[in-house]
Amino acid sequence: MCLGIPGRVEEVWEADGTRMATVDFSGIRKEVCLAYVPDVVVGDYTIIHVGFALTRLDEASALETLALFREAGLLDQELGTA
Amino acid sequence: MKYLDEFADPELARGLLDDIARTVTRPWSIMEVCGGQTHTIIRNGIDQLLPDDVTLIHGPGCPVCVTPLETIDRALAIAARPEVIFCTFGDMARVPGSNGDLLSVKAAGGDVRLVYSPLDAVHLARQFPEREVVFFAIGFETTAPANAMTVHMARRLELTNFSLLVSHVLVPPAMTAILEAPRRRVQGFLAAGHVCTVMGMAQYVPLVERYQVPIVVTGFEPLDVLEGIRRVLAQLEEGRAELENAYPRAVSFEGNPTARRVVDEVFEVCDRQWRGIGLIPRSGWRLAPAFAEFDAEQRFDVGSIVAEESPRCRSGEVLQGHITPPQCEAFGTECTPRSPLGAPMVSSEGACAAYYQFRRLNGPALASS
């Protein structure tokens, strides 16, 4: 239910005054509502939940988090515990 | 897929696990609040990869599981009416009420539709103006913006044949109830990341301060969950109790103000019964008086239905983290996903379903670790 899935915005349009988009989920395309993410544009990744985009995924934060994970592993190697 | 594969990298997982093993010096119990995280943990065997000193307690964060039996019985009563098209998320369709489930109503001739999005229900209301379209609006804060949007749209489109059966629940009051419980074992929390995409993080500040408990906002991929656990453990070992964000790519401190504004307008806070747990004060949302015309309970006069639970289902203890699913006598025998006694065996976020799907062949010794 709270499962939110990342997807890439492929196309944006308006329907009945609401911003809508086609979003690609690893090859599966779905129509989603962009009413809650006014800044999202084509090419952005968002978290989609029950047909609504809830947040724009921040690439810089994602890369930072991954770098942090790598550091945790490297630290262990240096300490000889890995 | 970007943002998925790299957060399931086995080598990076090993690094995080090694770091956890190096950090932990004594026993700790951590609760993952959200059922989505429970599934990540059980599916990937994260609980078995952690040091023996670390116990994960599965939380009540499965909205289908905690929707009260009365509400399900009301849904069944509404769905059975000939003029109604009853729309629900697929998870909810097989949750047992006192007498059958939504699929059995459908089998008996009721018009029950499984929808992907609440917007599908609005489309049906436009398509069939002569029918009454009812949407079963359940969920945590994550789902509320989508459900709230439907009544906005219905009003704009002047739809008079659309209504919501609302049973929304809220995460922070449930965490408070867990922290106040006399048998409290939880020493730190993984907070549900997607709830925070909407609500932000501010509402956890008073919990951290009042109960001196570490809370780490956590995502749903395997590495996200490991990182959440690693950060809670680091706090516990160092004697700190702080609010941290381990899911910054999706969660900001302020959340999504646009979504919250619509939710605040459409819903108001109310006391709510949680199935298996009981009444938690101010733990739910119902339609605000300004939107009462969309309230299915009033439209179909089902408010007086009351119900009683099966005595053989121990889902209340599972939902509160007192037992793991295999410790229930009915698990995997009398209660299976094909014929569930309780909701946690049905939902894709239910702890019983997770253990049944990924762990039932391992035996109880491992499952209760």
Judge: A51–B249 Cβ closer than 8 Å, yes or no.
Answer: no
- Start-end of CATH 3.40.50.11740 domains in chain B: 26-311
Which of A43, A40, A41, A54 has the alpha carbon at shortest distance from A3? Answer: A54
Q: Which residues of B touch A44 (CB under 8 A)?
A: none
The minimal CB distance from A82 to the residues B15, B63, B223 is found for B15
* Total length of chain B: 369
CA distance B59 to B153: 34
What are the beta bridge partners of residue B191? Answer: B217
The structural architecture, per CATH, of the domain A5-79 is: Roll (2.30)
Do B219 and A66 meet the contact criterion of CB atoms below 8 Å apart? no
User: Model's pTM, two decimal places?
Assistant: 0.92
Below-70 pLDDT ranges, chain B: 362-369
* Total length of chain A: 82
Other residues' Cβ atoms within 10 Å of the Cβ of residue B8: 14
Q: Where are the domains of chain A?
A: 5-79
pLDDT in the model for residue B368: 38
Backbone angles phi, psi at B94, to 5 degrees: -110, 10
From first CA to last CA, the distance across chain B in angstroms is 33
Backbone angles phi, psi at B272, to 5 degrees: -145, 135
Confidence of residue A80 (pLDDT cuts 50, 70, 90): low
For residue A2, is pLDDT > 60?
no
Q: Which residues of B touch A81 (CB under 8 A)?
A: 18, 21-22
Which class is B26-311 in CATH?
alpha beta
Position with higher pLDDT, A75 vs B285: B285
Q: Please, what's the largest Cα pairwise distance for chain A?
A: 61
CA B71 to chain centre: 16
CA distance B253 to B263: 18
The minimal CB distance from A49 to the residues B9, B22, B146 is found for B146
Q: Chain B 217-246, CB below 8 Å of chain A: which residues?
A: 220, 223, 227, 230, 246
For testing the chain B interface, which of A24, A50, A58 should be mutated: the one with the most B CBs within 10 Å? A50
Coil/strand/helix, residue B271? strand
Judge: B258–A35 Cβ closer than 8 Å, yes or no.
Answer: yes
The minimal CB distance from B18 to the residues A26, A61, A76 is found for A76
The structure tokens listed for B177 are 């109830």
Which of B176, B104, B122, B47 has the alpha carbon at shortest distance from B339? Answer: B104
User: Would you call B25 exposed, middle or buried from its count of C-beta atoms within 10 A (0-12, 13-18, 19+)?
Assistant: exposed
Cα nearest neighbour of B7 on chain A: A66
CA distance B5 to B31: 25
Q: Which residues of A touch B347 (CB under 8 A)?
A: 1
Which uninterrupted H or E stretch holds B285? Answer: strand B278-287
For residue A74, is pLDDT > 80?
no
- For B20, which DSSP code? H
pLDDT in the model for residue A78: 61
Nearest chain A Cα distance for residue B75, angstroms = 18
Q: Amino acid letter at B89?
A: F
CA distance B284 to B171: 9
